[in-house]
């Protein structure tokens, strides 16, 4: 599975969009990009995933570059409850190999 | 509908002992995966089971084993516990298919003294 690189931490103002980047330059053609988040002491929560097209659901949008070497998770209107560690995972099978993730802090 | 459930919630053991953790997947889910999360790190993949067969294994020693039952519930066993096995153990279930989301349980917090 491809390795991912994420910034260790980011801040975002409440009500603004949070844009979380992820680099996955070694991604293979059949590997998906997944995003999960983990709020303190809880199990990870699925957010969104995609292969090569941009995806949107009720929680977030996923923008994947045309060469698929990087992606961005967008939380359109961040709230205090979005404070969490966000994990970007690239995999072709259903076992998720988590890295260290990005700790997003949403501030009032 | 009930989500993924795990038992026990917390557990304290001493070095050298053995422990069994249990997981019940969401109804209709046939795949169960186990993860270990040490404080301050992301979850690390241990096992994946599908239809009672092991489908994937992470980089963990043979002290770690698991099985899946006909009702798709699963157990994770750890023998000869070490202090370093202290962690949050997470179970996730998913429906059949490729590129599906995994649903995680709340985890079992294991402390080894």
Average pLDDT, chain A: 93
- On the question of pLDDT at A67 being above 80, the answer is yes
pLDDT bin (cut points 50, 70, 90) of residue B1 is low
Contact A35, A87 (CB under 8 A): yes
Among A34, A44, A49, the residue with its CB nearest the CB of B43 is A44
Residues in chain A: 108
Q: Is B22 helix (H, G, I), strand (E, B) or coil?
A: strand
- On the question of pLDDT at B56 being above 70, the answer is yes
Measured at the CA of A56, the angle between CA A12 and CA B42, to 5 degrees, comes to 55
Place of tokens 């993730």: A101
Q: How far, in Å, are B9, B49, B94, B100 from residue B74 at the CA level? A: 15, 8, 13, 19
| Residue B12 φ then ψ, to 5° | -120, 125
Contacts of B21 in chain A (CB under 8 A): none
Beta-carbon contacts below 8 Å between A and B: 57
- CA B12 to CA A35: how far, in whole Å? 32
Among A34, A43, A98, the residue with its CB nearest the CB of B105 is A43
Q: A26 versus A92: which is more confidently predicted?
A: A26
| Residue B17 φ then ψ, to 5° | -75, 175
Average pLDDT, chain B: 94
Q: What is the pLDDT of residue B72?
A: 95
pLDDT bin (cut points 50, 70, 90) of residue A47 is very high
- On the question of pLDDT at A85 being above 80, the answer is yes
Dihedral, CA atoms, A86, A92, A97, A102, nearest 10 degrees? -20
Per-residue pLDDT averaged across A50-77, rounded? 95
Contacts of A51 in chain B (CB under 8 A): 99
Q: What is the pLDDT of residue A94?
A: 67
For B54, nearest residue in chain A (alpha carbons): A95
Among A51, A96, A101, the residue with its CB nearest the CB of B45 is A96
Cis link prior to B29 (omega < 30° from 0)? Answer: no
C-alpha B40 chain-centroid distance: 18
Inter-chain contact B42–A45, Cβ cutoff 8 Å? no
Measured at the CA of B94, the angle between CA B50 and CA B90, to 5 degrees, comes to 90
- On the question of pLDDT at B61 being above 90, the answer is yes
Inter-chain contact B42–A93, Cβ cutoff 8 Å? no
| Residue A43 φ then ψ, to 5° | -70, 150
Contact A4, A102 (CB under 8 A): no
- On the question of pLDDT at B97 being above 80, the answer is no
- On the question of pLDDT at B69 being above 70, the answer is yes
Counts for chain A of helices (H) and strands (E), in that order? 0, 9
């Amino acid at each position: 599975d491809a390795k991912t690189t994420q910034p260790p931490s980011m801040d975002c103002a409440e009500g603004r969009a949070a844009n979380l980047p992820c680099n996955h330059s070694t991604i293979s053609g059949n590997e998906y990009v997944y995003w999960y988040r983990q709020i303190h002491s809880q199990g990870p929560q699925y957010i969104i995933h995609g292969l090569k097209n941009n995806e949107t659901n009720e929680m977030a949008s996923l923008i994947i570059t045309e060469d698929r070497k990087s992606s961005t998770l967008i939380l359109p209107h961040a709230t205090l409850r979005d404070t969490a560690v966000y994990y970007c995972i690239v995999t072709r099978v259903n076992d998720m190999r988590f890295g260290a993730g990005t700790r997003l802090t949403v501030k009032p | 509908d009930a989500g993924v459930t795990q038992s026990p919630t917390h557990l304290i053991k001493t070095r050298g002992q053995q422990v069994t953790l249990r997981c019940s997947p969401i109804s209709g889910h046939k795949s169960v995966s186990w993860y270990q999360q040490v404080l301050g790190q992301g979850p690390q993949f241990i096992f994946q089971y599908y239809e009672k067969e092991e489908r994937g294994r992470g980089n963990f020693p043979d002290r770690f084993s698991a099985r899946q039952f006909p009702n798709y519930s699963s157990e994770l066993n750890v023998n000869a516990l070490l202090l370093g096995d202290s962690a949050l153990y997470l179970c996730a279930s998913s429906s059949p298919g490729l590129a599906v989301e995994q649903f995680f349980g709340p985890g079992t917090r294991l402390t080894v003294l």
